[in-house]
Amino acid sequence: MTEITLTGVVLDERSELSLTELSQACSTSTEWVIELVQEGVLEPVGRQPTQWRFSGTSLKRAHTAMRLQTDLRINLAGVALALDLIEEIETMRERLRRLEAGEGKR
């Protein structure tokens, strides 16, 4: 049996990545990341691509965008819409969990 060792870095919302770092983390081109920004999928801080900084959550969003494109063959406009809907569902589920937890205390 072959043993494989994986290494990685844990990122949170406060972590920041440059354009190059984000594209490397996604194993993709900087051009694809720029397309995500142009479509509104990612919102970097900074005026120009050389100054852009992305949050750790941008990495998660970029990975999800990549999966939507490759697995479901969704175009970038569809990816942007799907990601917004996925996030809205997650927000609503969290609110429901909190409401249900509050009722359990009564």
**What tens digit of pLDDT does each residue of 37-46 get?**
999 999 999 9
Q: Where are the domains of the chain?
A: 16-104
Work out the pLDDT band at 54, boundaries 50, 70, 90.
very high
Which residue, chain included where needed, has tokens 């809907």?
85
Give the pLDDT confidence score for residue 102 in this predicted structure: 86
Identify the architecture of domain 16-104 in CATH: Orthogonal Bundle (1.10)
Q: What is the pLDDT of residues 62-98, one digit of tens each?
A: 999 999 999 999 999 999 999 999 999 999 999 999 9
Query: What pTM, to 2 d.p., does this model score?
Result: 0.78
Q: What is the three-state SS of 54-89?
A: EEHHHHHHHHHHHHHHHHHCCCHHHHHHHHHHHHHH
**What average pLDDT does range 16-22 have in this prediction?**
96
Give the pLDDT confidence score for residue 104 in this predicted structure: 63
What residues contact 95, with CB distance under 8 A and at least 6 apart? Answer: none
